[in-house]
Structure 1
Amino acid sequence: MQTNAWFESLPIAPIGSWEPVSGGDINEAYRVIADGIPYFIKVQPHQSAQYFAHEQAGLKALGAVINTPTPIASGDLDGNAYLILNWIDEGPEDQTALGRAVAKLHQQHADQFGFTTNHRTKVLLKDNHWNNDWRDFYVNQRLQP
């Protein structure tokens, strides 16, 4: 759990309020209001700023096709990596839009399966090296690990 001083050191200011939010099990997550603007902030304790580089690359790639949270800033404070994203309000009508976005995303095709970077969670390396065969990618780079 972060402190007021930690939040006040973020590159968004002035911080009006912050509160923990739920929804994930890997990172600490917060809703922060800074200068009247809401933000979603993810924090990974005891990690360098590089920790969120993979997520930012993924959001950028997905954002070329569908609306995704936009990275505002990232870095680390006191040895804790953070990623600041725009806050997206949700509501019941968003489920239909989500379904359409997922369908649009799955209409995209590539010659290979994978991604430009790998990512490590606390216990698992997500091996994203490019693979010409979907079945091999899924079995050996997702299921077996």
Structure 2
Amino acid sequence: MAEGQTPKVLSRELLERIGRAIDLRIDRAEYLTSGAANHVFRLHSGRGSVIAKLSMTDKTDLFAREAHALRHLAATGTVPVPEVLLATPDYLILEDLGDEDKELPDSRWREFGARVGCLHQVHAERFGYEHDNYIGIWTQRNPWTADWVDFFHANRVLCFLDSGANRQVLTRQDRDGIETLFARIRSLIPEQKPSLCHGDLWINNVLRARSGKIHLIDPAIHYGLPEADLAMTQMYGLFPEAFYEGYREAHPLLPDWKERLPLYQLKELVLMIAQFSHAESLQSLRALIRRFA
């Protein structure tokens, strides 16, 4: 975190430094929220406002990778994202799209679902990406891999099993259950092409702009399975049915897709336990093992 900064206050020196970098005289900073890796502010000026994310970690490439991901998504012409104005090791400056609290009509969610469906029509030859990315402070590895189950097993689950609280929380029975699940998962998940995925598609990474249009933020892009991306839309707050209606118009879904979504949520459950010793995630993990293993 930059010198002189506290979670809800930015120093005048820092505001002036950011202002010089983007050619904007910043009058004040409004604290918005904090995540695991950054604090988020709205910076106000006489010529409008911008969004600033201030790093809380020692990962000097955090914002460069986020900027790259946002620009990559924008270049596909599929899902709307905020424009990147500046990325440095200390802060990321983004276009301020505003935020809308009121409920959006189904037509907006249907349009957004179709755009995500179009994103998933962008394919690669293999699973992975050109570099790793981050989920909060956690590194999400993306080595190019021919087989999705191998990719998911090594880079979304195994790499976190001995991280954080998982060392203390997961029992031998839990670990054996995960391995048994992976012994079956290849027969449970149908073959799908590697598709460009947002990588962390939960409700808080969906920005409802003041224009009424829905944008995506905080990407962890890679080429994976569309169903894995959709699995996150059913965790921590459900997307409305209109989203899936629009999605299916652009990207037809395979039979029984909803029944398979919990399998993909294994990664998120393991990560939540690692970060927070999350009791609810542990219960869900054990229920998943009982159901499929």
User: Given the two structures, how large is their TM-score scaled by the length of structure 1?
Assistant: 0.81
Rounded to whole Å, the distance in 1 between the matches of 2:36 and 2:139 is 17
Quote the offset at 1:44 in angstroms.
0.6
- Which position in structure 2 is the counterpart of 1:70? 83
Contact 2:36 2:136 in 1 (8 A): no
In the alignment, structure 2 segments of 5+ residues that lack a partner are: 1-5, 160-293
Highest RCO, 1 vs 2 (Cα 8 Å, sep ≥ 6): 2
Rate the CA distance shift 1:75–1:49 in 2: closer, same or farther, 3 A: farther
- Which position in structure 1 is the counterpart of 2:152? 138
Rate the CA distance shift 1:48–1:15 in 2: closer, same or farther, 3 A: farther
- Cα deviation, 1:56-106, whole Å, max 9, x if unaligned, reads 111121112232122111224xxxx10101112243255444323222211
Rate the CA distance shift 1:118–1:99 in 2: closer, same or farther, 3 A: same
Rounded to whole Å, the distance in 2 between the matches of 1:60 and 1:131 is 24
Greater mean deviation of Cα atoms: 86-95 or 62-71 = 86-95
- The structure that is strand-richer by fraction is 1
Rounded to whole Å, the distance in 2 between the matches of 1:141 and 1:36 is 44
Rounded to whole Å, the distance in 2 between the matches of 1:3 and 1:130 is 43
Rounded to whole Å, the distance in 2 between the matches of 1:6 and 1:23 is 18
What's the Cα RMSD here? 2.3
Rate the CA distance shift 1:123–1:23 in 2: closer, same or farther, 3 A: closer
Q: Quick check: 1:110 aligned with 2:129?
A: no
- Cα deviation, 1:35-73, whole Å, max 9, x if unaligned, reads 422211111135465331111111121112232122111
- Which position in structure 2 is the counterpart of 1:101? 115
Calculate percent identity across the aligned residue pairs: 25
- The structure that is helix-richer by fraction is 2
* Count of residues in correspondence between the two structures: 141
SS at match of 2:87: strand
Larger Rg: 2
